[in-house]
Amino acid sequence: MTYDDIRLIFEKTFNSNVAFLQKINEQMDEEDSRALKRLSESQEDKESKKQKLDEEVEELRRHLMIMPNKDDDVYTEATPLALKVPVVD
């Protein structure tokens, strides 16, 4: 075998190895981009869920806010428990 014969075999093998490595790098880049896309989507989903939850909480607070009725003439006087003297019979 001469140098030219060996060089042809080497170049063929080398080129196939380089092509394989390029293909693997492209696949890894695609996987990385998909993973980043999933992460960004999940963060956006979390933010939208938090915003929706905050809106629901605000709406519930508005519904649960107790409004004093000025037309109501019923008053209840409460005696604090600390001021009551225990009576023992």
Count CA atoms within 13 Å of residue 74 on its CB side.
Answer: 1
Question: What is the C-alpha to C-alpha distance for residues 36 and 58, in angstroms, rounded to an integer?
Answer: 33
- The pLDDT tens digits for 9-53 are 999 999 999 999 999 999 999 999 998 888 888 888 888 888 899
- The pLDDT tens digits for 14-25 are 999 999 999 999
Give 32's contacts (C-beta < 8 A, 6+ positions apart).
none
Q: Is 0.85 surpassed by the pTM of this model? A: no
Q: Exposure pattern of 8-44 as b/e (b: 16+ CB <10 Å)?
A: eeeeeeeeeeeeeeeeeeeeeeeeeeeeeeeeeeeee
